[in-house]
Structure 1
Amino acid sequence: MKNKYAAKASCILLALFFGQVNANALDIVRVDPPNWWVGMHSKTVQLSIYAKDISSYQISSSEDKVTIVRTDKTENKNYLFVTLAIDPALSTETVFLNFKKLGASTVRYPYTIAKRTAGSSARKGFDNSDLIYLITPDRFANGDPSNDHIAAMGDRLDRSAEFSRHGGDLKGIVQNLGYLKSLGVTQLWLNPVLENKQPNSSYHGYAITDHYQVDPRYGDNALYKQLATQAKLHGIGLIIDLIPNHIGHKHWWMKDLPSDDWINFNNTFSATNHMRESIQDPYAVEADKQQFTDGWFVATMPDLNQRNPLLANYLIQNAIWWIETAQLSGIRIDTWSYSDKQFLSQWSDRILAEYPQLNMVGEEWSTTPSIIAYWQKGASNSDNYVSNLPSLFDFPLQASIAPALKEEESWNSGLIKLYKAVASDSIYPNANALTIFADNHDMSRLMTQVDGDADLNKMALTLIATLRGTPQIFYGAEIAMQHPGTESHGAIRADFPGGWADDEVNAFTGKNLNIDQSQTLDYVRKLFNWRKSASAIHQGQMRHLAPMDGIYCFTRFNSEERWLICLNKNKDAVTLPHAQLVPLVNSGKIAKHFLSQETQLLTQGLTLKARSADVYRIQ
């Protein structure tokens, strides 16, 4: 795989070889995507070619099995968009593109079209049998101190500052894959690792400045591929975090925009109104809808206009390129609903055409189930909008968990909130396909949400492991990381203890963990490793009893097994009578605890420990 500098150098060297360099020689700065593959579902690829006055050149192909089907020019003469048709019978990897204009020498540019990895289109995406582990790479582990300070990148390392770089990188993740496997992790979601050449606060990754390069403070493209390969050897897939909605204001495009309509609001900051409801509101005026989708988050994040078909193609191909390059198992899509909704249908449709079994989860931060449901594949929408997105994050469920556990029980507080969230599942086209979580990088950590109560924290983790959907946990949840007294995102995304050589506490080895941390770590390991083989938890049916007196019980079952999960918020042990449990256990006689293997005879009732969440195999 050639990076932009290597490609440019190759072009110049080839021109020298053919004796064609002169004062008017074409200097191709970059071609995106930097390479492609033969054997894709779509037989065409759109190249974005950037060079001074490139639009005045004619282009041809040296290979008869690679033909130029169209060229598109914009107001900016420094861009040329060229669509190639690739014959599946193409056998050579290097195709030369010839650039010619009157009075200038022909330039031959080598472009790689490689053979696709066998079985690539049939890759299996993440599903409900998985545990997704979310990492903010800058804050997890510093495996390569040599990339901590890169002068050209601007934003410097300072571990004492919450919003500066702290030095975590891809090598640190590679080095700790064994630890992740021990937790029962089967999928890794990394906050974006692509180049964020922003002047400050770039550590979060959501202000991309180059769609085709890993940020050098994390490593490079080769190391990202190595991470994916090594993770696979540990039984772990890699999920990429993509942002089709916006870029960083230091993106290389911003110095010379490809077209006048590349950025919304004529490249002038106009804030989004965040009114996601307007997209589904039958009474909304168009101005409100436009301000939501076209408005910028902040002045440093220009909002992309995906109605421009050249930009839409660029973003779609970029997603496909990373999936194919790094052999990824899924995509997490940032700020899903803020992009143009017709583009979103096209984006997901074309990706799934290449990878029919891939999974993608969108971030639509709303606690209203109908708003989440609108965007899921299979939704019957009143405006006839068709979505192709398989999964969304279940924010309504997330918002119910901490209040359900912390609040006093009443007709409208406490566990009833969790019950109502689950009872709303009929609103979704496929509630089982949702991705469930208790916290993430943008909100208070779970342990802080429950006011540092280790018992409530354990209950929440048990819910995430046993309710329908695909579970996701945030790095550090396994050691009950918390940030009392602050809601700063820099504190929420704190350094993982043990990720730096001089850390006094080391979660990877267990060194100096306190009792809550040690016990939580032990429980998470047991819980999610048990979950791997619990088929009824993955895809089984569910039944639950309405909560009563601080107790909530539900069952997950299929033809092979039945699990009973019970939460007891009370300060004392409670024995549930057999008659109350019959709707959940049917004819089951014995409840065997999933960890201790201790059994209880259900005809004598089921005794729940105080302030507990326990799982039982019903036999």
Structure 2
Amino acid sequence: MSYALSVEPANWWVGMKKNTITLMLHEQNIANTQFKLLPYQGVELTNATRTENPNYVFLHVTISDTAQAGTLKFNSSDNNNFSFSLLERTKNSAEREGFSSKDTVYLINPDRFVNGDKQNDTVSGMLEKVNPTFKGGRHGGDIQGVINALPYLKDLGITQLWLTPVLENNMPDYSYHGYAITDFYNVDPRMGSNSLYKSLSIKAKDQGIGLVMDMVLNHFGAEHKWMKDKPSKDWINFNGEFKNGKNATSHARQTIQDPHASEYDKRQFNDGWFVASMPDLNQRQPLLSEYLIQNALWWIEYADLSGIRVDTYSYSDKAFLTAWTKAIMDEYPHFNIVGEEWTSNPAIASYWQRKKVNQDGYTSSLPSIMDFSLQEALIQALNEEESWSTGWVKVYQSLANDFLYPDTDNIMVFADNHDMSRVYTELKQDLAKTKMAMTMLLTTRGIPQIYYGTEVLLDNTPSKDHGDIRIDFPGGFEHQQANAFTGEDLTADQHSMHTMMSALLHFRKTSPALTNGKLTHFSPKNGVYSYARLSDEQTVLVFLNKNAQTINQELDYMKEVLPHNTKAKDILSNETHMLKSKLTLKPMSATVLVINK
């Protein structure tokens, strides 16, 4: 097989802290080619690295502070010359603000959200065609659809978008989810293009919405050119072989922290493949490590990102993870990165957060982590009968474990996501419970993440198939009657849920107590969980009543956060209450009271 010359990355920027970059060149028998950089002030080709594969050369280029934007010209001994662009950075790029507890993140599976461009549903050269009637197939949603939905998302009160991966996934089937990437530098043409993705970022920012990119460091798609032509023999773990599952990951994430774990078990977790279609990358390979670091910095700068979500975070080599996150945070000190560590054990999850002092001496640079403990506890709390060990106490205990985290404000909280049944489904299609769940997530500590369609009660009952969990958003596709964008043909419950969530989201955007206030919670009593968010300017009180009857809640226990005879407004009902000795709580309800000082 012959290969045309490819150069990755396609460009870089002047004024970056990361001023030594590595260009990956791929072409048939390129290893014997010698390269020379024509004179360019402030830029030097320092050396080249070659591996045992004759089809790759890695050029190491240093860009000094004196370099200006322009075009680098590389001449080669076989006259296959190429140019490389150095660009100006966007003003104040390094000082960009990442997503934070001031935000609410809206998670979208783009293929299932809105079909904004029917012309790209099926694209020549892509292995999988559109198949909207198959739950595991491509349904046609795309980046243009997300752009079209921006006014709706702004009206809802969203401030950040997290899209599951939109990069090329040229796989023969189940490519819609995006996690088997076959090109780390190009958007899948069925989703749009790099320029359209950049346009989404610009147009979202115009609506006050940031863009969070979903990145995959642990694995890639088996149709990537690296499987046919590995850059080096150690580029892929277990010699690039799945061996009928013998080299599959154990998913035993506790081996990373376990002081008694064997090296065999550690390797089986870190180096093992998810499935045959997702080969596992060896981040201990220095050239691959550099490639992944540069790729992340390139997308942040190119698309003006406000954050990154890292898939299967702990499955990658942990020394590499520190280097990767540190490189990003050094370049963008106010940026944010959240890692997926799917465990309900906060002792394991907290290990990865920046500034955690770990027993084994491991130092992480990851700012944020996902709170699977609270997600699990919340579902259990709302489905269980109340007792000393069940019900709301599960949530209370989960949050009580916050002493394990160095930064509890920078934890991402959620009721569901693209890999689990929807919250409305898990709560047995109970509107009142779903409202309580979302009220809690939007008022507790941390950064709330909402899965698309929660605001209109999307449901995957009775199936747990991922294709049903990632169902089409109502109004995003021609065949649907219900339309969440216009409200047409939505049920009364869907309208009620949407109204409540929008009210909370808009209040949250302007509430100092919810965005950066201290959390003080009280041990659940008689089916009621209550807590306060406290800032200098404002107090927010939250009461979650799981009882099927009205409760006259005694307030004496809240004296430390609630002055006597205080007037408060219920932001969900707009009622005003004089808080004396008792507060009436409606059956199966969430009450959110605000006291402005």
TM-score (norm 1): 0.94
How do 1:453-602 and structure 2 match up within 5 A? 453-587=430-564, 589-602=566-579
Instruction: Tell me which residue corresponds to 2:204.
Output: 231
Q: 5+ residue gaps in structure 2?
A: none
Choose the corresponding residue for 1:136, options 93, 105, 109.
109
Q: CA deviation at 1:558?
A: 1.0
The 8 Å contact of residues 98 and 108 in structure 1, kept in 2 or not, is answered as yes
Choose the corresponding residue for 1:272, options 223, 243, 249.
249
- Aligned residue identity for 1:494: I
Q: CA deviation at 1:587?
A: 4.4
Choose the corresponding residue for 1:127, options 74, 90, 100.
100
- Once residues 218 and 252 of structure 2 are traced to their aligned partners in structure 1, the CA distance between those partners, rounded to angstroms, is 15
Other structure's SS at 1:153 match? coil
Please say if 1:38 is aligned against 2:14: yes
Choose the corresponding residue for 2:34, options 58, 64, 70.
58
Q: CA deviation at 1:93?
A: 1.2
Q: 5+ residue gaps in structure 1?
A: 1-25
Instruction: Tell me which residue corresponds to 2:404.
Output: 427
Q: CA deviation at 1:224?
A: 0.4
- Once residues 588 and 130 of structure 1 are traced to their aligned partners in structure 2, the CA distance between those partners, rounded to angstroms, is 32
The 8 Å contact of residues 544 and 584 in structure 1, kept in 2 or not, is answered as no
Deviations 1:137-185 (A, max 9, x none): 0000000000011131121211110100000000011011000001110
- Once residues 522 and 27 of structure 1 are traced to their aligned partners in structure 2, the CA distance between those partners, rounded to angstroms, is 55
- Once residues 391 and 95 of structure 1 are traced to their aligned partners in structure 2, the CA distance between those partners, rounded to angstroms, is 38
Q: Which runs of 4+ in 1 moved over 6 A?
A: none
The 8 Å contact of residues 352 and 358 in structure 1, kept in 2 or not, is answered as yes
Please say if 1:312 is aligned against 2:285: no
Q: CA deviation at 1:108?
A: 2.6
- Aligned residue identity for 2:160: Q
Q: CA deviation at 1:508?
A: 0.7
Q: CA deviation at 1:92?
A: 4.4
Other structure's SS at 1:564 match? strand
- Once residues 28 and 241 of structure 2 are traced to their aligned partners in structure 1, the CA distance between those partners, rounded to angstroms, is 25
The 8 Å contact of residues 264 and 294 in structure 1, kept in 2 or not, is answered as yes
TM-score (norm 2): 0.97
- Once residues 125 and 4 of structure 2 are traced to their aligned partners in structure 1, the CA distance between those partners, rounded to angstroms, is 22
Instruction: Tell me which residue corresponds to 1:8.
Output: none
How do 1:80-479 and structure 2 match up within 5 A? 80-100=57-77, 104=78, 106-269=79-242, 270-479=247-456
CA distance change for structure 1 residues 330 and 588 in 2, over 3 Å: closer, same or farther?
A: farther
The 8 Å contact of residues 398 and 437 in structure 1, kept in 2 or not, is answered as yes
Q: CA deviation at 1:501?
A: 2.5
The 8 Å contact of residues 505 and 513 in structure 1, kept in 2 or not, is answered as yes
Quote the sequence identity (%): 47
- Once residues 39 and 251 of structure 2 are traced to their aligned partners in structure 1, the CA distance between those partners, rounded to angstroms, is 49
When the two chains are superposed, the root-mean-square deviation of aligned CA atoms in Å is 1.2
Instruction: Tell me which residue corresponds to 1:29.
Output: 5
- Once residues 364 and 174 of structure 2 are traced to their aligned partners in structure 1, the CA distance between those partners, rounded to angstroms, is 34
Q: Provide the aligned length of Structure 1 versus Structure 2.
A: 590
- Once residues 283 and 87 of structure 1 are traced to their aligned partners in structure 2, the CA distance between those partners, rounded to angstroms, is 47
The 8 Å contact of residues 212 and 318 in structure 1, kept in 2 or not, is answered as yes
Q: CA deviation at 1:588?
A: 5.7
- Aligned residue identity for 2:80: V
- Once residues 510 and 412 of structure 2 are traced to their aligned partners in structure 1, the CA distance between those partners, rounded to angstroms, is 19
The 8 Å contact of residues 12 and 298 in structure 2, kept in 1 or not, is answered as yes
Farther-moved stretch of structure 1 (516-525 vs 585-594):
585-594
- Once residues 520 and 192 of structure 2 are traced to their aligned partners in structure 1, the CA distance between those partners, rounded to angstroms, is 47
- Once residues 196 and 408 of structure 1 are traced to their aligned partners in structure 2, the CA distance between those partners, rounded to angstroms, is 45
- Once residues 586 and 214 of structure 2 are traced to their aligned partners in structure 1, the CA distance between those partners, rounded to angstroms, is 40
- Once residues 344 and 581 of structure 2 are traced to their aligned partners in structure 1, the CA distance between those partners, rounded to angstroms, is 41
The 8 Å contact of residues 439 and 473 in structure 1, kept in 2 or not, is answered as yes
Deviations 1:459-481 (A, max 9, x none): 00001100000000000001011
Instruction: Tell me which residue corresponds to 1:3.
Output: none
- Aligned residue identity for 1:235: G
- Once residues 144 and 74 of structure 2 are traced to their aligned partners in structure 1, the CA distance between those partners, rounded to angstroms, is 37
- Aligned residue identity for 2:462: G
Q: CA deviation at 1:255?
A: 1.4
- Once residues 156 and 588 of structure 1 are traced to their aligned partners in structure 2, the CA distance between those partners, rounded to angstroms, is 65
- Once residues 498 and 535 of structure 1 are traced to their aligned partners in structure 2, the CA distance between those partners, rounded to angstroms, is 34
Q: CA deviation at 1:28?
A: 4.9
- Aligned residue identity for 1:276: R
- Once residues 563 and 341 of structure 2 are traced to their aligned partners in structure 1, the CA distance between those partners, rounded to angstroms, is 38
The 8 Å contact of residues 28 and 49 in structure 1, kept in 2 or not, is answered as no
- Once residues 279 and 600 of structure 1 are traced to their aligned partners in structure 2, the CA distance between those partners, rounded to angstroms, is 51
Q: CA deviation at 1:107?
A: 3.4
- Once residues 565 and 10 of structure 2 are traced to their aligned partners in structure 1, the CA distance between those partners, rounded to angstroms, is 60
- Aligned residue identity for 1:69: T
- Once residues 581 and 281 of structure 1 are traced to their aligned partners in structure 2, the CA distance between those partners, rounded to angstroms, is 41
